[in-house]
Amino acid sequence: MEKTSYSQNDYAALLGSNIPKALVEDKSMRFDDAEDASVFFARELDHVKAQSYDVVYPELTALTLFPISNEVSPGAETVTYYSYDRTGVAKIINNYATDLPRADVKGKPTTAYVKSVGDSYGYSVQEMRASRLAGKSLDVRKAEAARYAADYALNKIAWVGDKANGLIGVLSPENDIPLFTVPVGKTSGKTTWAEKTADEILEDLKEMQKQVARTTKNVERPDTLVLPADVHIEISTRQIPNTGYTVKKFLLENAPYIKDIVSAAELQADAEETNPYSAQGKNVALLFKKDARKLSIEHPLPFYQYPLQAKGLEIEVPCEARTAGAIIYYPLSALIAVGV
């Protein structure tokens, strides 16, 4: 990235501090004046910020798996939404009938709090001298570490919420998504998919889909299955005897409505921070409809880096993001399977 632009706020903060003067006084820096030094490092910082925005961490699956919404204003302290259940049936009527049955939607209000996640990074004058002397840019890894720390917190909240702060996650027990307890296989005598036969795994998914269909009168049709990483590997490599199909390939081609089967390490039995059933030593699977009208992660303020703040002979860049956790409009469009 060519460093030709810079933030006027960063430039002004640098110029008003003691940092440019300290750099100019060092003859090895080859700066003509404080303004020259301020412009140079404002451009450097602009490059650092741009690089950190480009970083994608695939292991934080919630940030790429679920629809992300930015509808709520960053200034909001709370957001109230409704989880819905359709009601009513139509019937045959006579001419001039006045007793038409009412079709409606029942909504239960839920209020979620909007909370900030924050951290920072910075550079000392000596680090700025070193980067200039070596002809290298400022260390981008500091900004990337700040971005990762914020995303890590947002990912955890998306999965399990933060009860102390009134935030709900996709796996939070209080979110009204139904549970499915994985049964013992008739042949294997086991419950986990790693130990079950291919036929037993297929039967489990069929029963999961049937539970959603029964509960919603087949209105909801989940299309995405999320599995713990080790279970996903298992079904991706397990062959169904005499077919040439893996379990995953067979499911994608034959299971009704299923469009995608993906992995998430956050669902594994040892993922204590993101799997609320890890205390029971159980893997979790999630079956859901990938549709922002059904479920989304609300981020009123995506990761944002404020103008730098000069503190003595150091510059600090404050970072913030705001989240309301998971907003689940139709809880019955998803299903949590415990014990896969």
The Cα 317–Cα 45 span in angstroms is: 9
Per the DSSP assignment, residues forming a β-bridge with 203 are none
The Cα 204–Cα 158 span in angstroms is: 26
The Cα 224–Cα 238 span in angstroms is: 20
Half-sphere exposure of 306 (CA within 13 A, CB side): 16
From its phi and psi, is residue 173 left (phi > 0), alpha (psi between -120 and 50) or beta?
alpha
Element (H, E) at 134: helix 125-134
Return the beta strands (E) in the chain as ranges.
68-69, 78-87, 104-113, 115-124, 179-181, 224-227, 239-240, 245-246, 260-263, 284-288, 295-298, 301-305, 309-311, 314-323, 325-328, 334-338
One digit per residue, the tens of pLDDT, for the chain of length 340 reads 445 689 999 999 999 999 999 999 988 888 999 999 999 999 999 999 998 877 666 679 999 999 999 999 999 999 998 877 654 444 555 555 556 555 545 677 888 999 999 999 999 999 999 999 888 889 999 999 999 999 999 999 999 999 999 999 999 988 889 999 999 999 999 999 999 999 999 999 999 999 999 998 898 999 999 999 999 999 999 999 889 899 999 999 999 999 999 999 999 999 999 999 999 999 999 999 999 999 999 999 999 999 999 999 999 999 999 999 999 999 999 999 999 9
Q: What is the pLDDT of residue 4?
A: 64
Q: Are strands 78-87 and 104-113 parallel, antiparallel or unpaired?
A: antiparallel
Q: What is the pLDDT of residue 86?
A: 52
Q: What is the pLDDT of residue 108?
A: 79
In the structure encoding, which two tokens stand for residue 51, read together? 């690089």
